[in-house]
Structures are given as structure tokens and as C-alpha cells.
């Protein structure tokens, strides 16, 4: 059968056969035809011809992913200009397995090719590859094993999914073995939700296998921090996701899906009031919080306890965001930044209030 799909394949220095760690800084190189796992692509797919291979060092890409990806796009464009028959239908990268730098490299390359050349891309990674934190929503990534032992399976998946992408077919994570991008697709079900739920319950009672239609997100767990021996000797900080900000909302924190958090002084304030502060949270009735913002950020009581010596001191800056449809990823980033700032100024404990 004639090879009908032209693919360009991208590899790191190791899989491209150019060297190990010592070649990590290698700038992008062009090779005609397949190299390394590219031969497996051709072997597994009767209709894919790997017309060229780009090899780039892991460190080169990890150190400047955007510039590196732009160089690779330029390299591909140059080769196409020299020989239009090289114009690919598909760009394949990896598999990167669980390798972090290689994953970042494959992700950056695929993203740049999609955006700048408008050519379909596919790569493959282990679900724990850190590059997925950045690229899972935008790229088609086949689920791969943790290491090179899963090469054949991963390449077979890339081939299968790549052919579908070129044909313009929809990719369905459950059946195509890709990492879910978080997209929702409408479909007509044979039975109503109530009927399906009862059917699922019956299967569960019979001890049969069930599969949820709505998997819950997996949240990270944090080992509990050791306690503070005596709060009377410690500095406390106040943080809230309840949207309490100085009146007028100087940082314009959004009432939903907040893109930032604010840091505001408490110096000289004995309590919050309707005149000094307000809530900009869009997910609850803010009447009561606006009447008396201490109902969300309990400054009045904390000042009393500070005077009485129950706490050693209050950090004179508080932090606030709006926890309304704010993504977990963003919230985690805010938490990390706020914690770093608090540790930096010697805060030992936090009261975080949420509505």
C-alpha cells in the first residue's frame, strides 16, 4: 500500500542516536527519513512515511523552550521550502514517557507546530509527565508507559491517533488511549441519567465493575504541618478566599475565576467596617459581608486576642482572592506564592477563611 501520510518526527539527542547527557545542549538538527523510533512508526503504519526527523538536545529545549520550538518550526519551514514534497500532514514527537525535559520539549514543539504551521501533532507521555501540567489541555497526547519498555505500545498509539487526526476524526480519550484534554462532547444516550444511575447502582450491588460517567478530580494531599507550640509567641497571618478587599477593589480582583490575589495592609486598623472594606465575591450573597466584613475576615476578634496576648502578633498584611470557580491550578499557585511571602517575613501560622 502506498504511503499516503507524510510525517516529520521529532526526537531528543538520545533517541535520535546522537549521544547521551553530554549532548543535551544540542541545537536542532535535520535528518532525512526516519531515525530510531521513527523506523518503528513506518513499520507499524503502512500509510505513514517519515520524511524527515528533527533531533534536539533535552537541555537545549529545557533552557529555552519557546526559542527552541521557534527554531524547529523555522527549520521545518526551510526544509519544506527546499523540497515541497516534504510538507508534512502530521508532526510526531517522542514518545517522551515520564521524562520531564523530553516531555517539555515534545510539548513545546507540538504547540509551536500547531500554532505556527497549523499542522496536526501527536506526542506520547506517561500520565505523570510534568509537561502535562502545561500541555494537557491543548495537545493530543497518547498515554504512554513510564519508560522505554513501553515504546512499541506508545508508538502504535501515536500512529493510530495520528492517522485519525489527519483524517479529521474526533479523538476520544477513553477509546483512543489519549490523555483527557478536559473537553466535553454532547451525545445522545439510550437511557436517562436516572435509569443509568439505577443500572450502575444495581451493577455495584451485584459486585460488578462500574465506571463513573463523571470522574472526580484528584486533589493533591499535603502532609500536615507541625503545630505551633504556643500561639502567644507566634505571628499569625490572615488569608481569605471570601473576596474581602479594601472598598473600591483597587486591584480589580474578579468576582469569579479570579486571575489574581491581593495583599492589603491592616496597619492601624482595629476592625473592618462597611466603609473600609467590601466583598467582591460573585458566588454568595455579599449583603452580610458588606455590612460587616469581620464576618468573613475576623480582624476585630484577632486584634482583641493580640491585645490579650493570646497571639504573639498579627502580620500587618492580609491576602485575599475570590474562590469562585477559580481553578485549582491557579489557587495552588496563589497558595504557594502567599506561603512563600509569609514565611519570608517570619509568619508561623495562618487562619484561612472561606465562604
> Which residues of this protein are in contact with another protein, per CB under 8 A?
216, 219-222, 224-231, 236, 239, 242, 284-289, 291-292, 294-296, 298, 300-302, 304-305, 310-311, 328, 339, 342-343, 347-355
* Separation of alpha carbons 50 and 41, rounded Å: 8
For 218-241, the DSSP string reads PPP--PPPPPPS-GGGSEEEEEES
Q: How far is CA 240 from the centre of its chain?
A: 24
**Among residues 263 and 288, whose Cβ is nearest to another protein?**
288
**Among residues 61 and 236, whose Cβ is nearest to another protein?**
236
CA angle centred on 29, ends 27 and 34, rounded to 5°: 140
- Residue 311 burial class via C-beta count within 10 angstroms: exposed 0-12, middle 13-18, buried 19 and up: buried
97: region left, alpha or beta (phi > 0 left; psi from -120 to 50 alpha)? left
**Among residues 5 and 244, whose Cβ is nearest to another protein?**
244
Q: How far is the CB of 86 from another protein (least distance, A)?
A: 49
**Among residues 20 and 227, whose Cβ is nearest to another protein?**
227
- Where would I find the beta strands (DSSP E) of 110-168? 120-125, 141-143
Cell numbers describing residue 186: 454532547
**Among residues 178 and 240, whose Cβ is nearest to another protein?**
240
β partners of residue 265? 317
Contact present, 102 and 94 (Cβ < 8 Å): yes
**Among residues 128 and 285, whose Cβ is nearest to another protein?**
285
Q: How far is the CB of 140 from another protein (least distance, A)?
A: 29
Contacts of 282 (CB under 8 A, 6+ apart): 243, 254, 255, 256, 322, 324
298: helix, coil or strand? coil
Q: How far is the CB of 351 from another protein (least distance, A)?
A: 5
**Among residues 52 and 293, whose Cβ is nearest to another protein?**
293
Q: Cα-flanking dihedrals φ and ψ of residue 351, to 5°?
A: -105, 120
Q: How far is the CB of 217 from another protein (least distance, A)?
A: 9
Q: How far is the CB of 128 from another protein (least distance, A)?
A: 18
Closest CA to 47 of 87, 89, 86, 5: 5
Q: How far is the CB of 33 from another protein (least distance, A)?
A: 50
* Separation of alpha carbons 342 and 254, rounded Å: 23
Q: How far is the CB of 131 from another protein (least distance, A)?
A: 23
Question: Could you count the other beta carbons within 10 Å of the beta carbon of residue 217?
Answer: 6
**Among residues 64 and 336, whose Cβ is nearest to another protein?**
336
Contact present, 128 and 170 (Cβ < 8 Å): no
**Among residues 67 and 230, whose Cβ is nearest to another protein?**
230
* Separation of alpha carbons 271 and 252, rounded Å: 22
Q: How far is the CB of 328 from another protein (least distance, A)?
A: 7
Q: How far is the CB of 261 from another protein (least distance, A)?
A: 15
* Separation of alpha carbons 276 and 274, rounded Å: 6
Amino acid at each position: 500500500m502506498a504511503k499516503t501520510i507524510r510525517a516529520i518526527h521529532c526526537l531528543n539527542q538520545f533517541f535520535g542516536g546522537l549521544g547521551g547527557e553530554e549532548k543535551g545542549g544540542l541545537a536542532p538538527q535535520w535528518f532525512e527519513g526516519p531515525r530510531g523510533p521513527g523506523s518503528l512508526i513506518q513499520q507499524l503504519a503502512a500509510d505513514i512515511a517519515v520524511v524527515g526527523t528533527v533531533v534536539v538536545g533535552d537541555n537545549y529545549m529545557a533552557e529555552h523552550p519557546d526559542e527552541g520550538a521557534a527554531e524547529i518550526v523555522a527549520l521545518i519551514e526551510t526544509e519544506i521550502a527546499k523540497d515541497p514534497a516534504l510538507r508534512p500532514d502530521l508532526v510526531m514527537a517522542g514518545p517522551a514517557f515520564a521524562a520531564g525535559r523530553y516531555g517539555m520539549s515534545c510539548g513545546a514543539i507540538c504547540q509551536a507546530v500547531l500554532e505556527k504551521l497549523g499542522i496536526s501533532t501527536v506526542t506520547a507521555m506517561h500520565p505523570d509527565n510534568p509537561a502535562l501540567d502545561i500541555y494537557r489541555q491543548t495537545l493530543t497526547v497518547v498515554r504512554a508507559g513510564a519508560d522505554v519498555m513501553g515504546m512499541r505500545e506508545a508508538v502504535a498509539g501515536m500512529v493510530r491517533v495520528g492517522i485519525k487526526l489527519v483524517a479529521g476524526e474526533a479523538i476520544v480519550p477513553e477509546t483512543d488511549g489519549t490523555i483527557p484534554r478536559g473537553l466535553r462532547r454532547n451525545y445522545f444516550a439510550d437511557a436517562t441519567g436516572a435509569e443509568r444511575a439505577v443500572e450502575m447502582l444495581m451493577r455495584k450491588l451485584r459486585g460488578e465493575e462500574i465506571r463513573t460517567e463523571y470522574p472526580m478530580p484528584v486533589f493533591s494531599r499535603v502532609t500536615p504541618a507541625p503545630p505551633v507550640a504556643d500561639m502567644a509567641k507566634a505571628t499569625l497571618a490572615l488569608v481569605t478566599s471570601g473576596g474581602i478587599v479594601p472598598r473600591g477593589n483597587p486591584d480589580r480582583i474578579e468576582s469569579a475565576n479570579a486571575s489574581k490575589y491581593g495583599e492589603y495592609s491592616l496597619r492601624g486598623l482595629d476592625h473592618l467596617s462597611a466603609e473600609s472594606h467590601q466583598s467582591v465575591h460573585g458566588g454568595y450573597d455579599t449583603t452580610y459581608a458588606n455590612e460587616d466584613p469581620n464576618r468573613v475576615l475576623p480582624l476585630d476578634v484577632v486584634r482583641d486576642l493580640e491585645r490579650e496576648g493570646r497571639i504573639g502578633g498579627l502580620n500587618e498584611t492580609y491576602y485575599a482572592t475570590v474562590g469562585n470557580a477559580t481553578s485549582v491550578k491557579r489557587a495552588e499557585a496563589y497558595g504557594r506564592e502567599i506561603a512563600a511571602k509569609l514565611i519570608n517575613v517570619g509568619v508561623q501560622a495562618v487562619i484561612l477563611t472561606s465562604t
